[in-house]
Structure 1
Amino acid sequence: MYDAIVIGAGPAGLQAALTLGRMHRSTLLLDSGEYRNGTVLHMHNMVGADGAPPAEFRATARAELSAYDDVEVRDAAATSVSGVEDAFLVGIADGSVVEARRVIIATGVADDLPDVPGLQDLWGTLAFSCPFCDGHEHAGKPIAIVGAAARAEHLIGLLGRIVGDITVFPVGEVFADDDIRMLETKGVRASPAPLSSVEKVDDRVRIRTDDDELVVAGVFVASGSMRQRAPFAAQLEMRMLESGCIEIDDFGRTSVPGIFAAGDLAHRASLPGPMASVLLAAAAGQLAAVGIIQSLLAAEH
């Protein structure tokens, strides 16, 4: 019986395990090897590690955890969570079951991209969603924004002062006349034809429509959606938010007693959605670990 099982070994799960280990709480960290930024070459907007490869960040964190006798790390995916507070059962892909008094779910989200040939192949290297993470690297360079005009407007506001020329491409259907006028008032070009494909060409992106093509430095996606990477929120019938994320309080508590959540799969109801940030994910992992320690102390006294 572990004090805590942490499911997911991105920045949220790694930090949670570190905090629990430093407080000498028996902890099992389950690492499935799947990460939202698994295709990303360099992470940004992370003080002290700006530009570091995410894989290097994870390896350093794993090495640091090895110094804590109370933390066990397994390269295995969790498949199920059941039970109640002080008696949770976590199923693992190899068929085994482990027990814990508390659980932190830090499995993150997965991105569902627009159905554009070639886009998935560029994701994380030449195609992005976060201006805070990847906007600066395109300073002064031409870019494309892919997606609905209304959603592209927000990206234009953030990226307009950073990048060079911006061309916005619809997906599936052409822009309405009002959308074109709105985009043009923002000082950007609206493609008259939907995007048909993208491909890498000499570290740049060739964008094709049915009757034209354009080469840009990178693509920012304003369409698409995200979903829970793992099934645990549905299994446990957690209270969810309109964003598709798990509702938590300031210390990562979910609506299920004894279950905590951290990272971009969860946020407080006061926020409109999660932020794709390594720093914020790690902070959320620390807060969830502190919440577990508080919870265990209360139960023990």
Structure 2
Amino acid sequence: MYDAIVIGAGPAGLQAALTLGRMHRPTLLLDSGEYRNGTVLHMHNVIANDGTPPAEFRATARAQLAEYPDVELRDVGAQTVTGSDGGFVVRLADGETVETRHVILATGVADDLPDIPGLQDLWGTKAFSCPFCDGHEHAGRSIGILGPAPRAEHLIGLLGRIVGDITVFPVEQPFSADETRTLEGLGVRVSAEPVAAVAPEAADVRITTASTAHTVAGVFVASGSLRHRAPFADQLGLELLPSGSIEIDDFGRTSQPGVFAAGDLAHRASLPGPMASVLLASAAGQMAAVGVIQSLMAH
């Protein structure tokens, strides 16, 4: 029986496994090969790794984990998690079952994008959601913002001092006259027609509506939603926050004793939602691992 099984090998899961390995706790890290930033070419706002390809970051982390004999890494996902504090059974995608005293959920979330033709193909390379991650790369350049007015206003506030000109495009329905006036008052252009499609155009992006076409350097999406990549929160009956994320305490503990969560799928009740950040996910993974070690010491 493992002391901990970490499900998910993004920044949160990798850091959790490293912390457990350094404390000589038998740990199994499961890597399904699916990552929220799987299409991203370079990650940013990560000190000492600014501009590093996420795949390189993961490869370096895996190589470092290989130095710890108490950490076992398997390239397989998990299908189900059952059990209770002190004894959980994880069924793997290959049919095998493994047992553990604690579980750390680090499977992350997936972005459900608005149904705009071409958008999924540009996601992570020319279409983004996070100004902290991708705003600087568009400094002084034209961008488009796709989405409802209130969320577009938030992006304008963050990106306005960084980028060149901004054009805001509604999704599905045109903006109301009041919304248009409010947005234009922020110094941006507003499309009268909803976005119909996006497509690459050399190094830029072509945004089309029913009657016009616009060329921008990149697109920021102000609509869409997040969903859990895996069903484990439901399987374990974990308490969720209004954001849809798993509720955790400062040490990543969930409402189910023995189950911890870290990364984009969880946050504390004091925060309005998950914060997409490699550094914050890594820190959450470390705290969850510390929480596991505290529990092991108490028993």
| Secondary structure of 1:233 counterpart | helix
Instruction: Give the corresponding residue for 1:254.
Output: 254
Q: Map of 1:13-162 to 2, 5 A cutoff?
A: 13-162=13-162
| Secondary structure of 1:180 counterpart | helix
Q: CA deviation at 1:7?
A: 0.1
> Which structure 1 residue ranges, 5 or more long, are not aligned?
none
Instruction: Give the corresponding residue for 1:200.
Output: 200
| 2: CA distance, partners of 1:190 / 1:142 | 13
Q: CA deviation at 1:85?
A: 1.0
| 2: CA distance, partners of 1:124 / 1:73 | 27
Q: Cα deviation per residue 1:124-170 (whole Å; 9 max; x = unaligned)?
A: 00000000000000000000000001110000000000000000000
| 2: CA distance, partners of 1:124 / 1:244 | 23
Structure 1 vs Structure 2: percent identity of aligned residues?
Answer: 73
Instruction: Give the corresponding residue for 1:269.
Output: 269
Instruction: Give the corresponding residue for 2:182.
Output: 182
| 2: CA distance, partners of 1:275 / 1:131 | 12
Q: Cα deviation per residue 1:190-231 (whole Å; 9 max; x = unaligned)?
A: 100000000001121000001000000000000000011100
| 2: CA distance, partners of 1:215 / 1:229 | 33
| 2: CA distance, partners of 1:253 / 1:6 | 14
Q: CA deviation at 1:51?
A: 0.4
Is the aligned partner of 1:242 residue 2:232? Answer: no
Give the TM-score normalised by the residue count of structure 1: 0.99
Q: Which runs of 4+ in 1 moved over 2 A?
A: none
Q: Tell me the amino acid that sits aligned with residue 285 of structure 2.
A: G
Q: Cα deviation per residue 1:216-255 (whole Å; 9 max; x = unaligned)?
A: 0000000000011100001111000111100000000000
What is the CA RMSD across the aligned residues, in angstroms?
0.4
Q: Tell me the amino acid that sits aligned with residue 16 of structure 1.
A: A
| 2: CA distance, partners of 1:274 / 1:45 | 17
Instruction: Give the corresponding residue for 2:292.
Output: 292
Q: Tell me the amino acid that sits aligned with residue 79 of structure 2.
A: T
Instruction: Give the corresponding residue for 1:173.
Output: 173
| Secondary structure of 2:64 counterpart | helix
| 2: CA distance, partners of 1:243 / 1:161 | 29
| Secondary structure of 1:2 counterpart | coil
Instruction: Give the corresponding residue for 2:4.
Output: 4
| 1: CA distance, partners of 2:202 / 2:20 | 46
Q: CA deviation at 1:86?
A: 1.1
Q: Cα deviation per residue 1:74-132 (whole Å; 9 max; x = unaligned)?
A: 00000010001111000100101000000000000000000000000000000000000
| 2: CA distance, partners of 1:242 / 1:75 | 33
| 2: CA distance, partners of 1:203 / 1:84 | 52
Q: CA deviation at 1:43?
A: 0.2
| 2: CA distance, partners of 1:241 / 1:251 | 17
Q: CA deviation at 1:42?
A: 0.2
Instruction: Give the corresponding residue for 2:225.
Output: 225
| 1: CA distance, partners of 2:140 / 2:43 | 20
| 2: CA distance, partners of 1:83 / 1:194 | 49
Give the TM-score normalised by the residue count of structure 2: 1.00
| 2: CA distance, partners of 1:201 / 1:156 | 24
Q: Tell me the amino acid that sits aligned with residue 53 of structure 2.
A: P
> Which structure 2 residue ranges, 5 or more long, are not aligned?
none
| 2: CA distance, partners of 1:285 / 1:129 | 23
